[in-house]
Amino acid sequence: MQNDLVIGRQQAFVTRTGLRNSTQRNETDVTTAAIRNERKDFVLTDKDFGKICRLVGERTGIVLSEAKRDMVYGRLSRRLRALGLRQFSDYLAQLESGDETELVEFTNAITTNLTAFFREPHHFEFLTRTLLPEIVRSKSRKRLRVWSAGCSSGEEPYSLAMCLRETIPADWDVKILATDLDSNMVAKGKQGIYTADRVEGLSKERLRRWVKRGRGDKADMVRMSPALREIISFKQLNLMHDWPMQGPFDFIFCRNVVIYFNKDTQRELFSRFAGMLESDSHLFIGHSESLYRVSVDFELLGQTIYRKK
């Protein structure tokens, strides 16, 4: 009924003015979603969508906008089907009752885990050509600690591990902490098994050294070599919660994670990252992220690479 009213108002506005401004476009999206809902298995009302957005914000820091409505529907309707529920309100009641198992499934379903080996290659070039040789030259203690925060299914920490193995002398104590909110991604990272197409962009030399190809019916799968796996520790960690580790890290990768957070959450998070780094240590963020008006603890070196002041 409420949706009918919106559609009615919307059509009247278009007919009256013939215009489509940006507010109207947003409303149109809502309306379109409402129409689509009618053809879907479940109805996602504005009220339920609002509750989902609040719960996601509280649990993950992720801000969902109206534009994500279809995505939310798609991902959560699978949970409703799996649980044999008929309405989003029943699903929300289950989450609100504190069902921890389902709350984990819920957050796993909401996170966006897009990643790749050597994604944003300039960061890895800077590492191997500049930062890692500099660390080896200047550090008296042969110890290196790296954090991949929001590591998704592990391609980022494995790319880091290749760079470290290729550049840092063998007698150094080297460890990468790889954390993510999504427990399924952490499990996948721990396994270190991927479909072969994921490593297609790697050089022949890297494939030879670091990637084991499956055989027989596993021929389309690859596994990261034990030399990489043994220096990475995969852990489930919500960046919004307390962190059990003390640091300091020599550098942190937190790329394409905060893009989903609001500015206040970003401010708090980067202040906490600063607390995990010593002066002159580096922070790498995603290509569409920036610390402008978010943190004064870091100076920009270029290409989303920052140094702690």
Ligand X SMILES: C[S@@+](CC[C@H](N)C(=O)[O-])C[C@H]1O[C@@H](n2cnc3c(N)ncnc32)[C@H](O)[C@@H]1O
Annotated catalytic sites, by residue? 75, 180
Contacts of residue 223, defined as CB under 8 A and 6 or more positions apart, other chains included, come to 192, 193, 194, 211, 212, 214
Measured between alpha carbons, how far is 209 from 198 in angstroms, rounded to an integer?
16
Whichever of 166 and 268 has its CB closer to ligand X, that residue is: 268
Contacts of residue 220, defined as CB under 8 A and 6 or more positions apart, other chains included, come to 195, 196, 214
- Token pair of 160 as six digits: 């880091």
Whichever of 44 and 258 has its CB closer to ligand X, that residue is: 258
Give me the least distance between CB of 63 and ligand X, in Å please: 11
Give me the least distance between CB of 76 and ligand X, in Å please: 16
Pairing of strands 277-285, 249-254: parallel
Task: List interacting residues with ligand X (CB under 6 A).
Answer: 60-62, 111-115, 119, 150-152, 156, 180-182, 185, 238-240, 255-257, 286
Measured between alpha carbons, how far is 60 from 64 in angstroms, rounded to an integer?
11
Give me the least distance between CB of 235 and ligand X, in Å please: 10
Give me the least distance between CB of 260 and ligand X, in Å please: 6
| 211-213 sheet: strands from edge to edge | 193-195, 221-224, 211-213
Whichever of 49 and 234 has its CB closer to ligand X, that residue is: 234
In angstroms, what is the C-alpha Rg of the chain? 23
Whichever of 95 and 257 has its CB closer to ligand X, that residue is: 257
* Residue positions counted in the chain: 309
